[in-house]
Structure 1
Amino acid sequence: METTYDNSSLKLKKEFPEAEDFLPLNGTDYVELYVANAKQAAHFYQAAFGFQPLAYSGLETGVKDRSSYVLVQDKIRIVLTSPLTKGGPINEHIDKHGDGIKNVALWVDDAAKSYEETTKRGAESTFAPKTIEDENGKAVLSAIRTYGETNHIFVERSAYDGPFLPGYTTWNPEYKPASVGLKYIDHMVGNVGWNEMNKWVEFYAKVMGFAQLISFDDKDISTDYTALMSKVMTNGNGRIKFPINEPAEGKKKSQIEEYIDFYNGAGVQHVALATDNIIETVTQMTERGVEFLRVPDVYYADVLDRVGKIDEDLEPLKKLGILIDRDDEGYLLQIFTKPVGDRPTLFFEIIQRKGATSFGKGNFKALFEAIEREQESRGTL
């Protein structure tokens, strides 16, 4: 089993001095999705994305209202949770939103202090600090509300040595397809409603001590038909980056409006997963049935004139549809899956950074035109 975290206290370098960073945050602990069928969803993420089985909670562990499967790939952990009974908040969430991300858990040294620092600055409480334990030790959890019905759970696990968290047992099925080389969560993007971006930017600055890393307006992110605005928030050590998107006026319905219509509110739009070899990762994912957005081949005719010399051969990037962009620090390679469910909501980005710290501004127009083609095929543009 790959090591996914180190229980020792971290002293991480502060990369963004303008961030107050009063929590602080060590990284993303896990991302939990509420889904209609966790067992089948777990099979999909194993087979298609190369995640490995880690832990399970359900009837066999004494939990009567839900089942949860935990998957891991290097430093990425996802939890897939489904209800076992009718009614209740999980069913309501799935009925309203479809399969989607409910909880973004953040790894901290002190969950009680994190709760205190955020709630005293105005965060709405989801639940107060609580200690959970089993034969492998104890962990402390607390949680606050963010945009839509999304929560941030603070996870303190220095005194726990089990497979995941108390209440979970090791999950060790026969089926273990190989990893595809995904390493860690690079960033997570939230979609919010009209004129709500600055409200949530202020939330992350004031309540969680984040700094604004970059801002894009409708001149940066627009096509002939649609537009959006985005601001990127980061914690001090740069391990947590949350771009926040809102719609902007355009001739037709933007991807953000489409998301909000089908998700019925604000939520996590996509999760960017990092790799050290995007060609190999995307090749494997494509062979396993993952569908990616494609840009026209003409994109590659002058891309090297725009981004300069890169280490990779252009032909395999073109074959796979991988996009390229450069900033002052280096370049990046990125590609986006189509939505992973029937609703046009949640999708994933695969990204490889070769020094670049930006988010692919030079690709926005080509990418959003590709998204518009998908919207047009769905009749939602």
Structure 2
Amino acid sequence: MNTSANYPSFLGFDYVELWVGNAKQAASFYKTRLGFSVFAYQGLETGSRTWTSYALRQGDVTLVLSSALPPGNKEFNEHLARHGDAVKDIAFRVTSCELTYEQAIAAGAVSIQSPQKYTDDHGQIVLATIKTVGDTTHTFVERSGNSKTFLPGFVAINDPDPLEQVLASVGGRSLDHIGLNISEGEMEPLVEWYERVLGFHRFFSIDDSIVHTKFSGLKSIVMADSSERIKIPLIEPASGIRKGQVEEFLEYHGGAGAQHFAIRTDDILASSQALHERGVETLKVPSAYYPRLREFLQVANIELPEDIDVFAQYDIMMDFDENGYLLQTFTKPMSDRPTAFFEFLQRRTFNGFGANNFRAIFEAIEQEQERRGNLR
């Protein structure tokens, strides 16, 4: 097993790539609704004859939206038919791409692309890709020098979107974590894979004794690199009376994959207001949640600078311990398939994952499942 003592350093998430049916339209959605800005592009105009991609950024969060150009791209067409618009690649910034790749392959990883070097007048990028769960991949990205190139083949986009002058900034700062949903029984093998192949460790875990309703439940183990800059919750359904939210994702996604992106913000109230003004639909928190929260805070003798009535207005939930607290809100799925969604969160000296909110989150999701006819 790889350990942090002998494994190259991970520097954090580099980007997340989604394969989508129409990259141009998807980029417009992520700009106007979620507040991202396009900063790089590849397509026919840049000499790319096979792919078109838009690179978007909000704070340090980078998304790449890609579509195949020729109609006969078998891999892309099968991925789109099976998963819909979905995450294809979760890329990590590393200190040494070649060493990270070599150790991963030696530990049993399946190679998609061996290390490739790309050099311009200002620096070098080294890329390599391995397979992870389902059809998802991990790319290792090593950047050196002062190159402004995002990825090979991309050109910088410097034209500001006129809507940025009209719409309030969402204020996302960094990618806190990405949740991967997997089938029941796959948890321990995948945990062992992240430990052995990438040298990650178990950061946090919770099971269905805590995360459940009368209908369903889940188990989760959060994997993290040695610096804990990268966190990936692995989420597995627990057998219930009815179909839970994880099973619903697996059914409509066509198997395991990335379910949610958690973006950190310094001011969740401002972020929530901006999302609301941009027309983003958020998950409706059950009405009984906020009276219970007031009771908990009173017993714990905690006074908040924020107003709980405003939390209720924007469907913001709170978890806390003796060290601090977490504020979080969730969007509804980003596509017609009830699959991937976004979480926006603010941490105040709190490193947990909102365990005390999980039941309320489940109840909120089950309300939406009922509307979709999928709670059965």
Indicate the larger mover: 152-161 or 333-342: 152-161
Any conservation in 2 of the 1:34–1:101 contact (CA below 8 Å)? yes
Query: Which residue number in structure 2 is paired with residue 14 of structure 1?
Result: none
SS at match of 2:63: strand
SS at match of 1:26: strand
Query: Which residue number in structure 1 is paired with residue 46 of structure 2?
Result: 61
Any conservation in 2 of the 1:193–1:246 contact (CA below 8 Å)? yes
Q: Percent identity?
A: 44
Any conservation in 1 of the 2:169–2:274 contact (CA below 8 Å)? no
Any conservation in 2 of the 1:33–1:81 contact (CA below 8 Å)? yes
After superposition, the C-alpha distances for 1:330-351 in whole angstroms (9 at most, x for unaligned) are 1000011100001000001001
Displacement of 1:328: 3.6
- Residue among 19, 26, 31 paired with 1:41: 26
SS at match of 2:274: helix
2:140 is aligned with 1:154: yes
Query: Which residue number in structure 1 is paired with residue 291 of structure 2?
Result: 301
Any conservation in 1 of the 2:120–2:147 contact (CA below 8 Å)? no
Displacement of 1:166: 2.3
Cα distance between partner residues in 1 of 2:272 and 2:186: 34
Any conservation in 2 of the 1:20–1:209 contact (CA below 8 Å)? no
Cα distance between partner residues in 2 of 1:216 and 1:158: 39
Any conservation in 1 of the 2:183–2:236 contact (CA below 8 Å)? yes
2:119 is aligned with 1:133: yes
Cα distance between partner residues in 2 of 1:260 and 1:154: 26
Query: Which residue number in structure 1 is paired with residue 273 of structure 2?
Result: 283
Cα distance between partner residues in 2 of 1:227 and 1:159: 48
Counterparts of 1:73-222 in structure 2, within 5 Å, are 73-88=58-73, 89-159=75-145, 161-176=147-162, 177=164, 179-222=169-212
2:218 is aligned with 1:231: no
Any conservation in 2 of the 1:334–1:351 contact (CA below 8 Å)? yes
Indicate the larger mover: 222-231 or 327-336: 327-336
Cα distance between partner residues in 2 of 1:297 and 1:194: 31
Any conservation in 2 of the 1:31–1:103 contact (CA below 8 Å)? yes
Displacement of 1:213: 1.2
Cα distance between partner residues in 2 of 1:96 and 1:250: 25
Displacement of 1:194: 1.6
Query: Which residue number in structure 2 is paired with residue 349 of structure 1?
Result: 343
Query: Which residue number in structure 2 is paired with residue 366 of structure 1?
Result: 360
1:156–1:352: structure 2 CA closer, same or farther, 3 Å change rule? same
SS at match of 2:183: coil
Any gaps of 5 or more consecutive residues in structure 1? Answer: 1-17
Residue identity matched to 1:82: S
TM-score (norm. length: structure 2): 0.94
Displacement of 1:160: 5.3
2:5 is aligned with 1:25: no
After superposition, the C-alpha distances for 1:131-157 in whole angstroms (9 at most, x for unaligned) are 123455431100111111111100011
Any conservation in 1 of the 2:207–2:219 contact (CA below 8 Å)? yes
TM-score (norm. length: structure 1): 0.92
Query: Which residue number in structure 2 is paired with residue 3 of structure 1?
Result: none
SS at match of 1:256: helix
Displacement of 1:52: 1.3
Cα distance between partner residues in 2 of 1:90 and 1:157: 27
1:233–1:19: structure 2 CA closer, same or farther, 3 Å change rule? farther
Any conservation in 2 of the 1:32–1:78 contact (CA below 8 Å)? yes
Displacement of 1:162: 2.1
Displacement of 1:20: 5.0
- Residue among 244, 261, 266 paired with 2:251: 261
Query: Which residue number in structure 2 is paired with residue 338 of structure 1?
Result: 332
Cα distance between partner residues in 1 of 2:333 and 2:126: 34
SS at match of 1:167: coil
Residue identity matched to 1:133: T
Runs of 4 or more off by more than 4 Å in structure 1? 18-21
Across the aligned residues of Structure 1 and Structure 2, the Cα RMSD in angstroms comes to: 1.4
Displacement of 1:175: 1.6
Any gaps of 5 or more consecutive residues in structure 2? Answer: none
After superposition, the C-alpha distances for 1:194-217 in whole angstroms (9 at most, x for unaligned) are 200111111111111111111111
SS at match of 1:85: coil
- Residue among 308, 320, 325 paired with 2:314: 320
Any conservation in 2 of the 1:54–1:163 contact (CA below 8 Å)? no
1:82–1:21: structure 2 CA closer, same or farther, 3 Å change rule? farther
Indicate the larger mover: 201-210 or 271-280: 201-210
